[in-house]
Structure 1
Amino acid sequence: MKRNGDIIIIEDDPDDWEILLEAFGEVIDENKFKNRVLIFEDSTMVVDYLQESKSEIFMILSDVNMPRLNGFELRESIYKIPSLCKRCMPYIFLTTGITKEHVTKAFELPLHGFFEKPTSFSDYKKLISDIILYWKVCLAPQ
C-alpha cells in the first residue's frame, strides 16, 4: 500500500461526487496529504483502470448500490485478479440504504470497512479524515 497513492472513489450519483470531492479536498489540504482523488461514475471501468494504470493506489472507496456492476460484484472482480489482489489496496464501502444483509454480504468478501454515508458535510469530513488517518498508519505489505 502506498500511503501517498491515489484514492479511487466509485460513485454513480453526481450529487454525492460533489460532497465527496469537496470533503476529500479539504481533508487532504488541511493535513497536507499528497494523495490525488480520482472518481469513477461507471464501476465497470475500474478494473481496467487498475490493470492498466501505473499509478500507486492508496485506497478504494466504493458505493454499493450502482447500476451495471454493484459494489459487491466490483470487489469480487478485483479480488479474483491476482495482480490486483497483491497490490494491497484497502477496499471500503461508503453507501446509503444499509441493510443487515448488505453488511453480512460485505464481510463475506475480503473487505476493509463498511460505512454509511453521513448526513452532514462536517460528518463527511470527520469520517473521511478518520478513514485516511487510519490507513496512513496501518501496516501492510508493500
Structure 2
Amino acid sequence: MSLKGPIISIEDDADDQFLIRSVVEELNIPNKLLFFGNGLEALLFLETTKEQPFVILCDINMPVMNGLELRERIEKNDYLKRKSIPFVFLTTADNPLIIDTAYSSTIQGFFKKENSFTELKNRFRVIYEYWQCCLHPNSYM
C-alpha cells in the first residue's frame, strides 16, 4: 500500500462509478482513481503495473470475473500477494453466505453500498481514513 498510490475501483455499473468518483471529489481525496469494469481487467492491470495501489475497492457481482474470483486469483499470485494491497469489498451483495465466503479469502473489509450519496460518502470516508492511518507492510512505498 502506498498512501499516494491509486485507488482501484472494480465496478461494472456506470452509475455507481459516477457516484464513487463524485464522493472522491467531494472528500478531496488526492489519490488517482482508476476504474475497471470487471475482475479480469483489474487483474491484468495489477499484474503489469509498477504502481503500488493505495486500496482496492471491489464489487462482487460483475461479468467476466466477479469479485470473489478476483480475490482468489490475487491470493494465488505471488507477485500480487507480496504487494499486500488492501482489498475491500464495496457491494450491494450482503448475503451472509457471500460475506462468509469473502472473509475466508483474507479480505480486509466488507462494506455495503449505501443507497444515499451522503451514506456512501460516509462509508468512503471511513475506508479512506482507516487506510491512511493503518500501518501496513508497504506503507512506506
TM-score (norm 2): 0.94
Q: Give the equivalent residue in structure 1 for 2:121.
A: 125
Q: Give the equivalent residue in structure 1 for 2:23.
A: 23
Deviations 1:80-129 (A, max 9, x none): 11111111110000111310101110111010000110111011111101
Whether the aligned pair in 1 keeps the contact of 2:58 and 2:89 (CA below 8 Å) is yes
Does residue 38 in structure 1 map to residue 38 in structure 2? no
Q: Distance in 1 between matches of 2:84 and 2:39?
A: 19
Q: Secondary structure at the match of 1:86?
A: helix
Structure 2 residue identity aligned to 1:2: S
CA-atom RMSD in angstroms: 1.0
> Mind listing any 5+ residue stretches in structure 2 that lack a counterpart?
none
Q: Secondary structure at the match of 1:114?
A: strand
Whether the aligned pair in 1 keeps the contact of 2:38 and 2:66 (CA below 8 Å) is no
Whether the aligned pair in 1 keeps the contact of 2:60 and 2:93 (CA below 8 Å) is no
Structure 1 residue identity aligned to 2:92: T
Q: Secondary structure at the match of 1:9?
A: strand
Q: Secondary structure at the match of 2:54?
A: strand
Number of residue pairs matched by the alignment: 138
Q: Distance in 2 between matches of 1:110 and 1:55?
A: 22
Q: Distance in 2 between matches of 1:97 and 1:88?
A: 24
Which of residues 80, 84, 88 is equivalent to 1:88?
84
Does residue 53 in structure 1 map to residue 49 in structure 2? yes
Q: Percent identity?
A: 37
Which of residues 102, 108, 112 is equivalent to 2:108?
112
Structure 1 residue identity aligned to 2:60: V
Q: Any runs of at least 4 consecutive aligned residues in structure 1 with deviations exceeding 6 A, and if so which?
A: none
Structure 2 residue identity aligned to 1:81: N
> Mind listing any 5+ residue stretches in structure 1 that lack a counterpart?
none
Q: Give the equivalent residue in structure 2 for 1:75.
A: 71
Deviations 1:6-61 (A, max 9, x none): 0000001111111111111211x1xxx43110001132111111111122200000
Q: Give the equivalent residue in structure 2 for 1:7.
A: 7
